[in-house]
Amino acid sequence: MQTDHRKTRIKGLFSKYRVLLIFGLCLFILGYFWQASKGSWLKRKISILCDTQRNKTNVLHGLPEIALPRMVYSKPHIFKPPRTDVLTMTPWLAPIIWDGTFNLEILNEQFRQRNTTIGLTVFAIKKYVVFLQRFLATAETYFMVGHRVKYYIFTDRPEAIPNMNVKEGREIVPLRVQNYPRWQEISMRRMEMLSYYSQQRFIHEVDFLVCVDADMQFSNEVGVEILSEVFGTIHPGFYAAERQAFTYERRSTSEAYIPLDEGDFYYCGCFFGGTVAEVHKLTKKCHEAIMADKSKSLEAIWHEESHLNKYFVYHKPTKILSPEYLWDNGLGSPQFLKKKRFLTVPKNHAAIRNKRNSNLK
């Protein structure tokens, strides 16, 4: 009797709470599948985040990672510097570039990854167009081999630019500019024109600018080892001189004035460069100083070169080119000079410049 009563009671309870039991079972099943799907969703989310992070890791400054080819070269040694006969580092940690201090194969690969384009600016005003043929021919042989180059030729005679074929990825770009009666004025106006075109055009077309003179020729390789934020070149006439012997502007009334106890090197005005933004800053500052002097009826002793040297005293270059990158064969062949990469062209200054102002620069 008691057993039957107990069974009847259990059946009653089951009947009474059956709906709740079924509802609870449904909730359990739904909860199980929800948790499973949630785990799968989390896995997918984590996978997406990991993929995104991997993609970010493979990008350097917005550029996709490129696998480097095998490169076999001598291991650098801490206690075996490549050059001990010359200064290779400034007190502000800017390297001075000499033969033997860099591996061009490594540097070429790095700059190719960045897809770098270099602008080479040259001024060929009046009779200076006669130097363009040799300048461009030697540049095609030795300048930035394997990289994209735009030759920006500032001239008042674009029709006189040599009609020559250049390598793939290179282009001759004539830029017509105004002529001036005095060669000193032409020389100083270069800073104005470089500043203007850097802001208006070059910034959209190239990554680096190299600014040189037309009456020069390349005689050995000049490559990406020179490129930096802003660089200058040691003048071949003053590489061993003390600062008191530098032909800085010494008149305190000039914007180019440098005191006798200041200065590091004497930089030439015919080979400097850097990123477009830095070249714009440099040339803008020099042009403003030139015009300030002009308002006082002053001209610095060596014109734009004097202002360039003033700029580099207080805005240190991030890389310095040794005299290998600007040499005059009239100075001989000192033992430390392993290569002569960029040479002055022998010329008659008086025949090239106007007759009234035929003094040597």
Which position among 299, 304, 305, 324 bears the catalytic label? 305
> Which are the contacts of 39, defined by CB distance < 8 A and separation ≥ 6?
none
Q: Say if residues 73 and 103 touch (Cβ distance below 8 Å).
A: yes
Amino acid residing at 312 = F
Active-site annotation holds for 305 = yes
Q: How far apart are CA 149 and CA 337, in angstroms?
A: 27
Asked whether 247 and 265 are in contact (CB, 8 A), the reply is: no
User: Which letter does DSSP use for residue 355 in this model?
Assistant: T
The verdict on whether residue 235 carries a ligand-binding annotation is: yes
214 is an annotated ligand-binding site residue: yes
247 annotated ligand-binding residue? yes
Instruction: For residue 125, say whether it is annotated as part of any ligand binding site.
Output: yes
4 is annotated as contributing to ligand binding: no
123 marked as binding residue: yes
| Six-digit token string for 4 | 């039957």
Distance between CA atoms of 159 and 17, rounded to whole angstroms? 103
DSSP character at residue 46: H
Q: Smallest Cα–Cα separation from 267: which of 243, 298, 283, 292?
A: 243
Is 248 marked as binding a ligand? Answer: no
229 is in an annotated binding site: no
Q: Beta-carbon neighbour count of residue 331 at 10 Å?
A: 13
Q: Which residues are annotated as a binding site for UDP-N-acetyl-alpha-D-galactosamine?
A: 123-125, 128, 213-215
> Any idea which residues carry the catalytic annotation?
305
Q: Which residues are annotated as a binding site?
A: 123-125, 128, 213-215, 235, 247, 305, 328
Q: Which residues are annotated as a binding site for Mn(2+)?
A: 213, 215
